[in-house]
Structure 1
Amino acid sequence: MSTPQGQRLQEEWLQVQRRDADRALAARDPRIPGLNWVLDDELLSGLLGESVQIIRTRYKPHTSALVAFRRTGNGSYGWALTTTPEHVGKLQQRADSSQKRDGGIRLVQPDRQHGDVVVAVGPIEEDWPLRPNLRWLRDHGLRRLGALPAAGRFLDPPVSVLRYNPERRLVARVPTETVPVVVKTAVQADVAAAGLRLRQRLQSHGIPVLPELADPECAAHGISASPGWGQGDLGGGGNDPAAYRAGQALAAIHGMNAGAGADPMADMEDLVRQLMATRSMITCLLPGLEAPVDALTGRLLAAVGADGPRRQQPVMVHGDFSADQVLVDGPAIRIIDFDRVTTSDPARDLGSFAAVEDIADPAGVGPVAGGPKTAQLTAGYRDAGGHVTQAGVDSWAAFRLFLNSVDPFRNRASDWPADTNWHIRRALELIA
């Protein structure tokens, strides 16, 4: 049995491991002189003069590093960005523009003797790509969703931030006079309201989804919304009946017409781009993994890529299916987040679900992908008429494991090199 002192020593050891890996990465990328300052909680906290925890990292080798952080004092969120010396002027322009409005973006220099080391810091509201859509949400969108903007900063309590991916999207829970509304604001606008039409199609086919509250005008500003629902997601304990029902719903999705705009070849080309981008990033983060990553990339291209065999007729797939995409309320379910719907092998969704279950319990993995929830999901899927092979599920689980192998670094896992290594090893096991 571990003791509090043993746990503390283990945490300290993991922090040393992560710090050493981060410093090694920063040393290999001198083009971004401030890189180490935005990868280390203590360094960034000292720079900001307040205690923060980095929760998300977006790193572009030799170009920039952007992180989201959470203040440990009041729980509010912000971002920090550092870049190459020749782009510091752009950061200054953004800070000057911010000061002309309400302020918010500031530049800090970790080392006054080295002016090329600059970190820009700001609140979510001043996230540059998200800012236009967030302001439209504040000024117009909240009323359209039945919520009134707060008197002060509209992201302050009682609004609660659920997820923040800097320069990509924000998910927040907003109170209304009836039930809370979960609002997602993305950089990418849905000008044609394709997401709204897809949700309507899913509902018309009896798929258990949440109603879309946003109208086409909201969609044109990157906003979608649904009422708060359920007691959590399928990632919690138990919920075997819910997993079975999720499998039945997944079979119904795969049975729908993919639509006139479906382009299986374009989707396959995107799949190959994802594989090559992941290969490039992992070998940059951990050069010692180049050989196993090259081997895994080759196997995945042979199994699921453009040169691989077509295991089944392509269908409309969720594209990012996992336990946290299935809300539950007892045995009742609702499937959410259809942003990555594409046309692909039906085994792709089941493999994705299985991979994420393996990631949640690496010590409990077996000879095939997934665990008890995957087994229940598959049973419901097959009983509802779905057809997949175990080899197909394992191949697509390996694909998802490989894509997710960057996540330990992005999400600042306590020992991200070891976690990334595990993703690669597990994927190779499943696609051997």
Structure 2
Amino acid sequence: MLSPADYHLIRRDVDLSGLRLVLDTDALAAVLVAQFPDLNLSQVKRTYIRYKPATSCIVSYELMIAQTTVLAYAKAVTSADKLEKYSQRPGVIQDFGIGRTVLKREGIIFSVLPNDNALKQLPKLFDPQLRQKRLQKLLLDRPDLSQAALKTLRYKPERRYVAQLDAGEQGQAVVKAYTSSNYQQAQVNANAFDSIAPLQIVPELGHSNRDRLLAFPWIVGSPLSQLITTSKAKWEKITQTGIALAQLHQQHPKHLNFLSRHDEATNLLLLASDLSWLCPQWKNRIQAIAVQLSTALLNARPINFPIHGDFNAEQVLWSPNTNDITFLDFDRAVRSDPAADLGSFIAKLMQDELRGVLSAEQREQIAADLIAGYRTAAPELISEDQIQLYTAIGLLRLGADPFRYCEFDWLEKIDTILCRIEQLMNRLPFDRFHSSCPA
């Protein structure tokens, strides 16, 4: 079912003719059933959207086919050449009769996993015989996992695929598949950091440059995001997480990309431009926020420390019988400002508060404990002003999430996030950023 905001977006993007069909699950289901009459399709559910105005829109779905959940995606494009190219590419046909199909009149490419236009290694990973051969080469030190079953954990079409390798009593592992543009740096980042108690970094088990695959051990534990809403002993864990983050920031990894202040500011303005397209009624408001935050970044001294780059409670794993803290997923690790990781973490807490997952008191206590733990290990790396600045920036980066994750009332929820950013900015001492950052 389309929301009023969906309809408004579709009417404005006249260049992307397939946008309505990829957003309207009922209409898409009707088209699929018309093209595949024997398809026992009972539900189409949107799960994720990646949208480039007037260019393309990728929408992930969960399909219910013959009482089985199937992952798929559709991509609306403006280029007839791309449609023709994709129509000539063979796909892996599933038992229910769909693999990859091109709807030329609608301007849409529809693919069922493991078909993916950018992750071309997935069909080989899904085929049991081909997977065994690849795992034998990928996991030279773990031949016991060569016949492991594949269980999808996370999938973002044309970007990344993450799965559990499950060999039963023989053990488990994680395998990640990347696009050609993202694989090399992901492989570098995966090996950039060292474990220093209590911080644990998951070591690489193997990699395949040809298939753009990375493999890691399976770590048993609970995500911190789960513990902070359920555990009575969470406060100590939060403090220890802050200590571990400070240990990460003080390491000396090689070959991380450097994110300059100029690049940070440029990325923020581009993000604001995309958000303004989603919410044209708030264009001036969004641009004013972005300009003020990006100006503060440009006025701050450059800082060159290794950071996680996408730090939040979902990236922290606590082992059940030890005090080990495992940090996950270093794909976005760069050299930049350490306050960016703290701000990112706190911004996600604020998002959870706005969603009703955490109370304001819980969010404040968790943020205070995280910062307190961090300052016991690295008091000189951050200031309160920096953390507040990056919290506002982190919230702006989360601004499109209600749309991205297919919430029906996404426009109202974006407004709520913008209101919180404005509240934060009212308390920010923008005149001090030129001197608040350590050299």
Q: Same fold (TM over 0.5)?
A: yes
SS in 2 for 1:208: strand
1:241 corresponds in structure 2 to 236
Cα pair 1:211 1:226 within 8 Å, conserved? yes
Q: Which amino acid aligns with 2:151?
A: S
2:116 corresponds in structure 1 to 127
Partners in 1 of 2:239 and 2:91 — Cα distance? Answer: 54
2:204 corresponds in structure 1 to 212
1:180 corresponds in structure 2 to 172
Show the 5 A alignment for 1:408-423.
408-423=402-417
Cα pair 2:178 2:213 within 8 Å, conserved? yes
Show the 5 A alignment for 1:370-385.
370-385=363-378
Cα pair 2:92 2:123 within 8 Å, conserved? no
Cα pair 1:55 1:68 within 8 Å, conserved? yes
Cα pair 1:193 1:220 within 8 Å, conserved? no
Displacement of 1:116 in angstroms is 3.3
Distance 1:57 1:235, change over 3 A: same
Show the 5 A alignment for 1:337-352.
337-352=329-344
SS in 2 for 1:361: helix
Partners in 1 of 2:210 and 2:368 — Cα distance? Answer: 40
Partners in 2 of 1:317 and 1:192 — Cα distance? Answer: 14
Gap regions ≥5 residues in structure 1: 1-14, 109-114, 151-157
1:161 corresponds in structure 2 to 152
Displacement of 1:159 in angstroms is 2.4
Partners in 1 of 2:185 and 2:256 — Cα distance? Answer: 18
Tell me which of 216, 222, 231 is aligned to 2:212: 222
Tell me which of 56, 64, 67 is aligned to 2:48: 56
Cα pair 1:405 1:420 within 8 Å, conserved? yes
1:360 corresponds in structure 2 to 352
Displacement of 1:56 in angstroms is 1.1
1:287 corresponds in structure 2 to 280
Asked if 1:47 corresponds to 2:41, the answer is: no
Distance 1:418 1:385, change over 3 A: same
Partners in 2 of 1:333 and 1:75 — Cα distance? Answer: 33
1:74 corresponds in structure 2 to 68
Cα pair 1:190 1:221 within 8 Å, conserved? no
Cα pair 2:186 2:331 within 8 Å, conserved? no
Cα pair 2:392 2:425 within 8 Å, conserved? yes
After superposition, the C-alpha distances for 1:212-231 in whole angstroms (9 at most, x for unaligned) are 1123xx25533222222233
Asked if 1:320 corresponds to 2:310, the answer is: yes
1:24 corresponds in structure 2 to 8
Q: Which amino acid aligns with 1:130?
A: L
Q: Which amino acid aligns with 2:58?
A: L
Displacement of 1:100 in angstroms is 9.4
Displacement of 1:119 in angstroms is 2.5
Displacement of 1:81 in angstroms is 1.5
Distance 1:191 1:255, change over 3 A: closer
Q: Which amino acid aligns with 2:47?
A: I
Partners in 1 of 2:251 and 2:87 — Cα distance? Answer: 49
1:148 corresponds in structure 2 to 146
Q: Which amino acid aligns with 2:353?
A: D
Q: Which amino acid aligns with 1:229?
A: I
Asked if 1:334 corresponds to 2:326, the answer is: yes
After superposition, the C-alpha distances for 1:77-121 in whole angstroms (9 at most, x for unaligned) are 01111222xx2343243233215999721134xxxxxx6323321
Partners in 2 of 1:74 and 1:96 — Cα distance? Answer: 29
After superposition, the C-alpha distances for 1:239-296 in whole angstroms (9 at most, x for unaligned) are 322222211111111111254x4665x5333312321221111111110111211111
1:155 corresponds in structure 2 to none
Alpha-carbon RMSD across the aligned residues, in angstroms, is 2.7
Cα pair 2:256 2:333 within 8 Å, conserved? no
After superposition, the C-alpha distances for 1:145-201 in whole angstroms (9 at most, x for unaligned) are 343357xxxxxxx52211111100011112125322121111122289423431xx4
Displacement of 1:21 in angstroms is 0.8
Distance 1:258 1:329, change over 3 A: closer
Partners in 1 of 2:260 and 2:147 — Cα distance? Answer: 39
Asked if 1:171 corresponds to 2:155, the answer is: no
Partners in 1 of 2:212 and 2:243 — Cα distance? Answer: 30
SS in 1 for 2:238: helix
2:422 corresponds in structure 1 to 428
Cα pair 1:130 1:186 within 8 Å, conserved? yes
Partners in 1 of 2:267 and 2:409 — Cα distance? Answer: 24
SS in 1 for 2:50: strand
Partners in 2 of 1:350 and 1:163 — Cα distance? Answer: 24
Partners in 2 of 1:262 and 1:228 — Cα distance? Answer: 25
Distance 1:345 1:191, change over 3 A: closer
Displacement of 1:332 in angstroms is 3.2
Cα pair 2:154 2:162 within 8 Å, conserved? yes
Asked if 1:308 corresponds to 2:299, the answer is: yes
Tell me which of 219, 222, 236 is aligned to 1:232: 222
TM-score w.r.t. structure 1 length?
Answer: 0.82
Name the structure where strand makes up a greater proportion of residues.
Answer: 2
Displacement of 1:42 in angstroms is 2.2
1:34 corresponds in structure 2 to 18
Partners in 2 of 1:351 and 1:191 — Cα distance? Answer: 24
TM-score w.r.t. structure 2 length?
Answer: 0.81
Displacement of 1:133 in angstroms is 6.0
Task: Report which stretch shifted further, 138-147 or 342-351.
Answer: 138-147
Cα pair 1:127 1:166 within 8 Å, conserved? yes
Distance 1:63 1:172, change over 3 A: same
Cα pair 1:315 1:346 within 8 Å, conserved? yes
Distance 1:189 1:294, change over 3 A: same
Q: Which amino acid aligns with 1:230?
A: V
1:88 corresponds in structure 2 to 80
Asked if 1:299 corresponds to 2:292, the answer is: yes
